Amino acid sequence: MTTFFHCARKHAGPFLWFVGVALYGSAALADLQIPAVPELASLPAWAQERVAPVKRALVVGISVYKHANPLSTPLYDAELVSDALKRLDPQMAVTQLSGNDLSRDELLERFENFRDSLRPGDIALVYYSGHGIELGGINYLVPADAELSRPGDETSTYISLPYLINEIQGTGAGITVIILDACRSNPFSAPVADEEYLDPKKPIPAPPMQAIASNQYLPLKTPPQQTPKGFLVVFAAQAGRPSYSLLIGDEPKMGSIFTRSLLQVLTTENKPASSVFNRTSGVVIRLTANRQEPLIASSNAGEIMFMDNQNLAKEELETWIRAVASTSDDELIYFLNEFVDYYPAGPFTAAARKRLSLLQATHEAFSRSVVSSERDVGLLNGSLKTPAVKDRFNTKAFARYDVNVRDLPRGGNSRVLGGLKRGQQVEVLHGKTPRGWAQVMLEDGQIGYVGSVSAQNKPVEVISLAASELPASGDLAMLERWRGSLEQGRSSIEIKVGSITNPNPTQASRIALLQGLRIRALIEAQGVARSHLALRLASPDVPMDTVTISLMKEGAL
């Protein structure tokens, strides 16, 4: 618990908000500033609860092989890594598997136990030192008893990396980190000079074999529900390049060149994992005189820190507070989903998940895979309201009071198909039906109509900004003028944040979310009620790196 408080102190304080504002809002004029971030203590109690994500590590080292050449360092590597992880974070659950009897069955058994111990939001770490093999673009770990696989039998002879990742991700683990000190070069393609310079761990001879490929570990295109996005795979060497055990004169107990470099950085710098891996790369390149370069295959995930369980970035806390502060339940369903996606293993992620499941239970929210023809129903008001935080296309709405769903868009001479309870979520197919009727699809697939809906889908006036900017003082007058028409309830303001250019897609989404929240806070500070504001991220109507603020009115039918 001490860690929590220590961490809270470390990250609190006005200075950090200042840095954040300066970073994003450098173009802002002095007379228009983002309102200060509310105190965490001002949030509802559930949102103040910090829970450190649990880290669970599986550390595997295989030195002795029945049919393959022995390796000198893996047993030591596993030992060193386990010790380092336990020292870094005594709370971390570390399972170390090393020995000479790690048959495929044994390894899978232990892996399945590890998998079954994972809970949603956990940080899962797998470290492996031993033989690796790449066949048909897929990487496999080689168990101690594996013989050379016959073609087609690879998946039942070795253990594939995609399998491990798939199983871990299926548990809902927040972030998966896989470190493979198993890139073994093909002896037939490795430069001869390397052999005398270093003592490479020799791979199994034949069949045609390459170093571990790195392009297989992109996240799945259509992940099953609740699959986390957090994902990081580190290879000891680039594809096609050797990974050496030792420099000449080294003792095996020092660990492999990669592992010892990793641990050196890991134990001395309290930096996010991706930064640790980058620094490790530098050290390995230097030690091996450019002959071995570790590879970070995929990093589109939340940051994790090995040392500090709270791993809280200032933007994360600001996003959390701004997202949660005075947000209605229906908006929260969107925000919390978004937050869990972008910060899968932060200190508030557990609170977000908990709240989300509670809200979804009470709001009967359902998130069916509806293949839409990508039509946007716009902003709805009246009996149905679209909060429009997350979706690229606005199709989900919440009932603002108990309302009937009819089979035809008229009150008389129509049949009641069912009802929506206040707060219940519904899929809207058409928001533009005549005389205030919206076409909706019920959870059971029935299609019907809800009356008294007003669709605000026609932009009347638009303020357009670069994504890093804030509205200038000149825009203030316009917002002021808009405020008058808002009060009559027939208009609303929509903030649309376009896609953000950033090599890291998760980071891009985070920047967009935070910028949207900041602009919303700013407009609220001008006296616009939250109920008249809608925030839309990754909007296709807005160019890249652009934000628009539009006054929306009821469009012509």
Partner 1 sequence: MNARLLLAAFLLLCASSASRADPWTWPAQVSGSEPLRNLYLLDRYGVQLLEPKIVGGEEARLGDDPWQVALIGGDNFGPDRRPFCGGVLVADTWVLTAAHCVDDNTRPAQVSVLVGATDVGPNGGARRVEVRRIILHPLYLSGKPPRHDLALLELASSAAGRFTAAIATLPMEDEAKALAGQATARVTGWGVLGAGDEYGVRQLRFVDLKIVSNRNCNDRVAYKGRITDYMVCAGFADKLEPKDSCQGDSGGPLTLRLAGKRYLAGIVSWGDGCAIKERPGVYTRVARYSAWVADCQQGKASCTSPTFSVVEHAGAERAVPFSEQQGARR
* Sites of contact with partner 1 (CB under 8 A): 105, 108, 135-138, 151-153, 155-156, 159-160, 162-163, 166, 220-222, 224, 368-375, 395, 427, 429, 441, 443-447
Please say which residue, 134 or 315, places its beta carbon nearer to partner 1: 134
Q: Smallest gap, in angstroms, from Cβ of residue 429 to partner 1?
A: 5
Exposed e or buried b for every residue in 46-62, given b needs 16+ CB within 10 A?
Answer: ebbebbbbbbbbbbbbb
How near is the Cβ of 441 to partner 1 at its closest, in Å?
A: 7
By C-beta, is 209 or 273 nearer to partner 1?
Answer: 209
In three-state form (DSSP H/G/I as H, E/B as E, the rest C), the secondary structure along 469-496 is: CCCCHHHHHHHHHHHHHHCCCCEEEEEE
Least distance CB 217 / partner 1 (angstroms): 11
Cβ nearer to partner 1, comparing 56 with 396: 396
Least separation in angstroms between residue 482's CB and partner 1 is 32
450 vs 517, beta carbon nearer partner 1: 450
CA gap 21, 319 in Å, rounded: 12
SS3 536: strand
Closest CB 378 distance from partner 1, rounded Å: 15
Least separation in angstroms between CB 150 and partner 1: 8
> Length of the chain, please?
557
Dist CA 393 CA 219 (whole Å): 23
The residue (of 101 and 487) whose beta carbon lies closer to partner 1 is 101
- Shortest separation between residue 358's beta carbon and partner 1, angstroms: 19
- How far is Cα 134 from Cα 185, in angstroms, rounded to an integer? 10
Cis status, amide bond into 207, omega within 30 of 0:
yes
Comparison of 375 and 458: residue with beta carbon closer to partner 1: 375
| AA identity, residue 551 | L
Residue 172 tokens read as 């809902």
Contacts of 374 (CB under 8 A, 6+ apart): 393
Q: Give the sign of the dihedral formed by CA 149, CA 153, CA 157, CA 161.
A: positive
**Shortest CB 444 distance to partner 1, Å:** 5
| Closest approach of partner 1 to the CB of residue 136, in Å | 3
Euclidean distance between CA atoms 277 and 165, whole angstroms: 19
Q: Which is nearer to partner 1, 275 or 372 (CB)?
A: 372
Q: Which two tokens stand for residue 504?
A: 């890291």
- For residue 544, CA distances in Å to 25, 339, 468, 541, 549 come to 18, 22, 11, 10, 15
Q: Would you tell me how many other CB atoms lie within 10 Å of the CB of residue 455?
A: 25
Judged by CB, which is closer to partner 1: 165, or 304? Answer: 165
Cα 340 from chain centroid (whole Å): 7
In terms of Cβ atoms closer than 10 Å to its own Cβ (0-12, 13-18, 19+), residue 478 is middle
Tokens linked to 472: 């200038």
Which candidate, 242, 217, 236, places its Cα nearest to that of 300? 217
For residue 181, report the phi and psi dihedrals to the nearest 5 degrees.
Answer: -95, 65
d(CA 187, CA 200): 9
The nearest distance, CB 361 to partner 1, in angstroms, is 15
Considering beta carbons, is residue 117 or 160 the nearer one to partner 1? 160
Could you tell me the smallest distance in angstroms from the CB atom of residue 108 to partner 1? 6
Between 23 and 218, CB nearer to partner 1: 218
Given the complex with partner 1, which of 220 and 525 has the nearer CB atom?
220
Closer to partner 1 at the Cβ: 154 or 329? 154
Min separation Cβ 70 and partner 1, Å: 26
Torsion of CA 527, 532, 538, 543, to 10 degrees: -70
Q: How many CB atoms lie within 10 A of CB 97?
A: 19
